[in-house]
Structure 1
Amino acid sequence: MSNPPIEIETGPNPTATVLLMHGLGADGNDFVPIANELDLSSVGPVRFVFPNAPVIPVTINGGYRMPAWYDILGADLAKREDEAGLRRSQETLEVLIANEKARGIPASRIVIAGFSQGCAMAFMTGLRHPERLAGIVGLSGYLPLADLTAAERHPANQQTPIFQAHGQRDGVVVIARAIQGRDTLKALGYDLEWHEYPMEHSVCMEEIADLNRFLVRVLG
């Protein structure tokens, strides 16, 4: 990562962690305001960890260097995926999960979440993690390396609840792409909670309220 993660704790001695990844071109500060809208007081002190993606050339943007979890090779997100970049960032996120465990937060009290590219990384990492996580959250993104998910997923997270949400008017990651991932995960037997909202590639207050309820449920 280019910079260390941003961390916010809602109280001393956190008993749970929400690891939340930003989207392409953003940084760890991007979702701090969203976290501040959440009320998780009923589950005890929570540590929010907002990692910063590395700054790399992004092919679809003419090779311009920007924060990205992996390269975007073309408009068709499924046909040409940066598998090496996805796996490198997966390793980075596994280190952050291990760090939370070293600080006393068990995997079963960790939620991995993300928006857009961060959503792809939440799915990429959470479905393959070798210990049961509290939850996986995917916002306005898609399932990466979808054809490899069945073979690479870890049984430890087969029963982990998944929250997936998307904007009906999203022109960056079209909702059909998200629905494909949703249907793939449901066909594999995952407990997936789906939400869609009349918005573009963004976040809305109704979504935050639904996410709040999900987090209280999986961390309660």
Structure 2
Amino acid sequence: MAAVEKLQRCVVSQTGKHTASLVFLHGSGDTGQGLRAWIQATLHLAFPHIRVVYPTAPARPYTPMKGALSHVWFDRYKISQDSPEHLESIEAMCTTLGSVVQDEVHAGIPKSRIIVGGFSMGGAMALHLAYRCHPEVAGVFALSSFLNKDSIVYQAVENKGVHLPELFQCHGTADQLVFHEWGEQTSMLLRKAGMKVTFQSIPGLNHELSTTEIELLRSWILSKLPI
């Protein structure tokens, strides 16, 4: 069996006793270091008890960029709700990111004290990782993200029943890359499959992170991972 690829990662350590962990996945073309730098410069996402881990996706040929190398969690045939998912690359990354989750477990943190999530493609990847492979986690978040209409995640949610971690979604109303309605439809289909979903629209926000949603995210994280 081939060894699982070890991802580069940036870590913001807890300021006190380590009792919970957060895995935050960047968007396409970014890195864990880049995401961490933005968040640290705008709103200090640090906690007394939660270690925050920012992995970096390996560089791979990315079809929407005509095969140019980019740090993406998986490939896409095109950026569209109607496109089939590139399951081969998604499956491989679920295995690779599973090792990040397991490293936190080996550090003494149960999955029930781990949250996974991300921005844009990172949010979509987190949905696959959590609901298909690690449904015991405390929660999942997806910022400016969507799933394809025929995503295998919907089937996985229906098969696992209602006892799944809550999803927290934020999406800008002015997003011109991942349209707001795509995020809303993802939320609607997951609710229809039996999941609890909180969806927050951010007026006027394009395809970017904002201090408003990071503040909302921080409050939600603390509700799921109290000290």
- CA 1:97–1:156 in 2, change beyond 3 Å: closer, same or farther? farther
TM score, norm. by length of structure 2: 0.87
Picking from 191, 194, 199, the partner of 1:189 is 194
In 2: Cα distance, 1:81 partner to 1:38 partner: 35
- CA 1:50–1:144 in 2, change beyond 3 Å: closer, same or farther? farther
Identity %: 25
TM score, norm. by length of structure 1: 0.90
Deviation at 1:146, TM superposition (A): 4.2
Picking from 39, 43, 67, the partner of 1:63 is 67
Gaps of 5+ in 2: none
Work out whether residues 130 and 157 of structure 1, in 8 Å CA contact, stay in contact via their aligned partners in 2. Answer: no
Deviation at 1:35, TM superposition (A): 5.6
2:147 aligns with 143
In 1: Cα distance, 2:66 partner to 2:147 partner: 24
Match for 2:215: what amino acid? A
In 2: Cα distance, 1:89 partner to 1:196 partner: 29
In 2: Cα distance, 1:107 partner to 1:3 partner: 20
Larger displacement relative to structure 2 (96-105 or 122-131) = 122-131
- CA 1:64–1:155 in 2, change beyond 3 Å: closer, same or farther? same
Deviation at 1:133, TM superposition (A): 1.0
In 1: Cα distance, 2:64 partner to 2:216 partner: 33
1:16 aligns with 20
Picking from 192, 198, 205, the partner of 1:199 is 205
Deviation at 1:81, TM superposition (A): 2.2
In 2: Cα distance, 1:195 partner to 1:159 partner: 20
- CA 1:105–1:118 in 2, change beyond 3 Å: closer, same or farther? same
Deviations 1:97-134 (A, max 9, x none): 11110010110110001011100111111112345211
Aligned pairs, how many? Answer: 218
In 2: Cα distance, 1:111 partner to 1:99 partner: 14
Work out whether residues 131 and 164 of structure 2, in 8 Å CA contact, stay in contact via their aligned partners in 1. Answer: no
Match for 1:152: what amino acid? A
Gaps of 5+ in 1: none
In 1: Cα distance, 2:126 partner to 2:213 partner: 17
Alignment of 1:11-160 (within 5 A): 11-32=15-36, 33-34=38-39, 37-38=43-44, 41=47, 44-144=48-148, 146-153=150-157, 155=160, 158-160=163-165
Deviations 1:55-113 (A, max 9, x none): 01111111111111111222324313211111111111111111110010110110001
In 1: Cα distance, 2:13 partner to 2:161 partner: 27
Work out whether residues 136 and 160 of structure 1, in 8 Å CA contact, stay in contact via their aligned partners in 2. Answer: yes
Picking from 202, 215, 225, the partner of 1:219 is 225
RMSD in angstroms over aligned alpha carbons? 2.1
In 1: Cα distance, 2:57 partner to 2:176 partner: 23
Work out whether residues 70 and 82 of structure 1, in 8 Å CA contact, stay in contact via their aligned partners in 2. Answer: yes
